[in-house]
Structure 1
């Protein structure tokens, strides 16, 4: 592994436990079957159905399907904040909630906690994902990511990075929405995560695109007294199968995604400053977490 790759201190034993209510194995197994079946259905049907749809309808179908996948695994979804950026040349929304007209696309950036982040973000802001090449080989999710137009990057090949930036910038110039998890690795979500890497933000500057930050949290417990949930964390060398089972056995798990104020690329003098603005927005929102949730 290259020395420049981001490394998270989070580990499955230290971060991925669940102290709340647990489901009985039988309903948990039913949820696991339902989630995997719906995901597989997407893998099989996407090549046939999506090419026949226009851009707007295709995004609505992907959004509805991604939401259904998260719910099928037994996870509730809560979306807060301003109206989500709806993407594309003719369907991008500014901070005031009005149509912005034609122009470049949107770079969506979010903190990274779990494999659940992928369908969760797709449910709110469907777009082309930028993901590490390892995901291509994941069961079910890997083929689906490839069919969805994911831009895979080989993180250990530093020489490939400029080409990736050019590819993302090209998509943004064409009016696409590109989704990036700039921490470069998953963190447990209990407190501040990793530093936002600046490479993808260079693509936004090159294309004159808007950056749309999102904040992802996973909670458990009653709505009036939610507590951070470690069950969703997919960190370190955690096997995917173990993470799937932990999610479906954790009763009362809620995925919260907060849409933060968009940031025009021209607001910052460079990619590092732009990455800092986006991270500050996400970190400021996470500052409302209770002290007991902060990861040490």
Structure 2
């Protein structure tokens, strides 16, 4: 794994413990099976949804995506709290802090769009094929030369009126801290003249949703299903309009500050000092700078 890839100091052992009341094993298993079944149904129905999307347009496709995403969250027992309303923007680059795989259906339930993901996601069982059919941009993180083409593809999508969703920290954090927003993806918004929509994500209890470090996906799925009263909050912050920032770095800083200032759980400097740093190879979910 390339040393330039971002990583977080969060680990499953240090950040995913003590995550509140737990459901019984029978209830947790029922949630897990219901969640996987709902994801599987989405995979089976994706071709039909794509066909109707072509015939009936993007609003219909987005409505289907929102309904399915909410069904996935509900099946896993996750309650959703939305603060703010989507702004009436023809196209926007949605940028959010990154805590969990749950972030993907959570954002899609409110702001459906084309996601940017690491290429490894394509090989994930069930979720990988579904992401591919949903128009996800896949990026090989080890190949810096692939980055300009990915940015160009996102800019083309924005010019066409699409919404593009990116997690610019480049790695998942546990929710008690936040990483630096990498500026590369913001170039797509500048090139397309699109607005940037900052979004803040938080989960209560925090540890239950965290998918960090070398945490196996199945272990995270079980932890979410077994959590009682797991609540996801998504805050839609004021958009950063085109032309308000001169370059991608200042645009990334503005979006990061907006998300960080909205956080109700800004960490003290000691939050992660007791947790060992991990090499880039072990960080769980990353997108590039």
TM-score, L = length of structure 1? 0.88
Match of 1:243 among 199, 220, 226: 220
1:165 aligns with 2:141: no
Structure 1, unaligned runs of 5 or more? 86-91, 94-102, 221-228
1:189 aligns with 2:165: no
Deviations 1:185-244 (A, max 9, x none): 1000113x1110101101100000000010000013xxxxxxxx2110000110000000
Question: Aligned equivalents of 1:144 and 1:26: distance in 2?
Answer: 28
Equivalent positions of 1:66-105 (< 5 A) are: 66-81=69-84, 83-85=85-87, 92-93=88-89, 105=91
Displacement of 1:147 in angstroms is 0.8
Query: Which position in structure 2 is the counterpart of 1:32?
Result: 32
Is this contact kept in 2: 1:173–1:207, CA < 8 A? yes
Question: Aligned equivalents of 2:267 and 2:124: distance in 1?
Answer: 35
Query: Which position in structure 1 is the counterpart of 2:271?
Result: 295
3-state DSSP of counterpart to 1:265: coil
Is this contact kept in 2: 1:265–1:274, CA < 8 A? no
Equivalent positions of 1:1-296 (< 5 A) are: 1-53=1-53, 54-81=57-84, 83-85=85-87, 92-93=88-89, 105-191=91-177, 193-220=178-205, 229-286=206-263, 288-289=264-265, 295-296=271-272
Given the superposition, is the C-alpha separation of residues 126 and 281 from structure 1 closer, same or farther in structure 2, using an over 3 Å criterion? same
Question: Aligned equivalents of 2:242 and 2:212: distance in 1?
Answer: 31
Higher relative contact order (CA 8 A, sep 6+): 2
Tell me the matched-pair count. Answer: 269
3-state DSSP of counterpart to 2:209: coil
Is this contact kept in 1: 2:35–2:72, CA < 8 A? yes
Question: Aligned equivalents of 2:108 and 2:269: distance in 1?
Answer: 26
Is this contact kept in 2: 1:218–1:232, CA < 8 A? yes
TM-score, L = length of structure 2? 0.90
Question: Aligned equivalents of 1:210 and 1:7: distance in 2?
Answer: 27
